[in-house]
């Protein structure tokens, strides 16, 4: 079996959200498998940035919440597609280790896409240091798909503007 990476999805990649179609495609090509529902072991901020995009902030202890999400086992080629969606090379997110817990299996080590460290603290302040325990259907209503966003600015431009206002 090829090398697999455990990926924690807490936002638009979850079932029922707009970018889950990528996960479904990975599953259909044997590049991903659903493992289960998990929560973060640490209390981490989950906020909503520009265009309603969810960001998990690597600021342990800043929030009272453990964040809920889904765990997938993903192949190397699947990981490349996720990295591209998450804008790893564009400074949107960075994939870093995370410890998760479930009711059944205790603690497990995985990776998650955190807001890039270059703006995480400023985004937390901009969001009034208020976060969520889950990216819910209600929050998802504020999400603007990529094809409906302005063409003249990148997500990183929108993040910088969001954080500076």
Long-range Cβ contacts of 103-107 (<8 Å, 24+ apart):
104/36, 105/36, 107/41
The reply to whether 86 belongs to the active site is yes
**Closest of 122, 64, 86 to residue 13, by C-alpha:** 86
Bridge partners of residue 7, in order along the sequence: 72, 111
> What 3 state SS string does the chain have?
CCCEEEEEECCCCCCCCCCHHHHHHHHHCCCEEEEEEEEECCCCCEEECHHHCEEECCCCCCCCCCCEEEEEEEEHHHHHHHHHHCCHHHCCEEEEEEEEEECCCEEEEEEEEEECCCCHHHHHHHCCCCCCCCCCHHHHCCCCCHHHCCCCCCHHHHHHHHHHC
Q: Which of 24, 70, 86, 129 is catalytic?
A: 86
Q: Report the catalytic residues.
A: 86
């Amino acid at each position: 079996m090829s090398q697999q990476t455990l990926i924690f999805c807490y936002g638009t990649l979850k079932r029922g959200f707009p970018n889950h179609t990528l996960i479904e495609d990975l599953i259909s090509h044997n590049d991903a498998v659903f493992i289960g529902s998990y929560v973060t072991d640490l209390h981490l901020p989950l906020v909503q940035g520009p265009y309603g995009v969810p960001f998990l902030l690597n600021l342990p202890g800043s929030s009272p919440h453990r964040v809920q999400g889904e765990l997938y086992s993903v192949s190397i080629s699947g990981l490349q597609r996720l990295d591209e969606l998450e804008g790893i090379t564009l400074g949107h997110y960075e994939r870093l280790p995370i410890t998760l817990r479930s009711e059944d299996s205790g603690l497990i080590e995985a990776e998650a896409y955190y807001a890039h460290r270059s703006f995480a603290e400023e985004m937390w302040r901009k969001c009034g240091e208020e976060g969520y325990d889950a990216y819910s259907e209600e929050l998802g209503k504020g999400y603007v798909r990529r094809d409906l966003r302005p063409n003249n600015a990148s997500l990183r431009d929108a993040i910088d503007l969001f954080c500076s206002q």
